[in-house]
Amino acid sequence: MEIAFQLDELEALVAAALTGGDGRRALQVLERENSTLKSRFGLDPFMAVTGELFEAAQFLADQGCALAVYFQEHGHRELEEEAWRLRCQPVLVAHPHRRNLVGPAMLDWGDCNRRMGNVEKADSIYDGVVRDFAEILGWGPSFNSEWLLAVRCLHKAVQNSSQDYGDLGSRTHSMLEQSEQMENPFADE
């Protein structure tokens, strides 16, 4: 039995929430659709081959982002935090290996928690980025834009965390400088 997406319902609820409608209901349906994505992909990994996985994940992540930005602009911190969390889920299902996509999603969620004063939770999110991303420093320097974005995310996670990562921040900063110099070799002339 195939589990069906109900993306039209989600799209309508998000549109209504963005004009003052029921944001909590939109978040509930987004969570349900994220679960549907995870279940369907578990049952049918072929979704990745057809592109359906990536299209659905992008749609869900975009809906979560739109809600988060709206809630942030209107001071609904708890709803904003939930929307950032829900935005991360489809990215992690469809693109767990693409640090250039995972990093920005995780940092938005961590930054929201930091603004809310949830330092422990923010640090936990930043630590997840640091633990998963630190190995990429050995892959550079490079002017590959996806790699650079991932290293920038690593650098920001180290900077924003209240945890001490030793010299990782300076190593990351140095790697970014070297890579940016490779990208623009005549910038200093």
Residues 128 and 59 in one domain: no
Residues 90 and 101 in one domain: no
Radius of gyration of the chain (CA): 18
Residues 65 and 113 in one domain: no
pLDDT of residue 161: 94
Can you tell me the distance from the alpha carbon of 47 to that of 54, in angstroms, rounded to the nearest whole number?
A: 8
Residues 115 and 89 in one domain: no
Residues 46 and 113 in one domain: no
pLDDT of residue 53: 84
- State residue 166 phi and psi, 5-degree precision: 65, -130
Q: pLDDT per residue over 134-148, tens digit each?
A: 888 776 666 778 888
DSSP symbol at 22: -
Residues 164 and 123 in one domain: yes
Domain-terminating residue out of 95, 123, 144: 95
**CB-based contact 162:170 (threshold 8 Å):** no
Residues 79 and 144 in one domain: no
Kindly tell me if the per-residue pLDDT of 114 is higher than 90: yes
Domain-terminating residue out of 78, 95, 112: 95
Domain that residue 150 falls in: 97-189
pLDDT of residue 189: 52
Domain-terminating residue out of 77, 95, 113: 95
**CB-based contact 158:172 (threshold 8 Å):** yes
Residues 114 and 83 in one domain: no
Can you tell me the distance from the alpha carbon of 58 to that of 77, in angstroms, rounded to the nearest whole number?
A: 23
Mean pLDDT of 163-188: 78
Residues 65 and 18 in one domain: yes
Q: pLDDT per residue over 3-39, tens digit each?
A: 778 899 999 999 999 999 999 999 999 999 999 999 9
Q: What's the whole-model pTM score?
A: 0.87
pLDDT of residue 187: 55
48-57, 58-67, 75-84, 113-122: range with lowest mean pLDDT: 48-57
DSSP symbol at 163: S
Burial class for 2, CB neighbours closer than 10 Å (0-12, 13-18, 19+): exposed
Residues 11 and 70 in one domain: yes
Number of folded domains that form the chain: 2
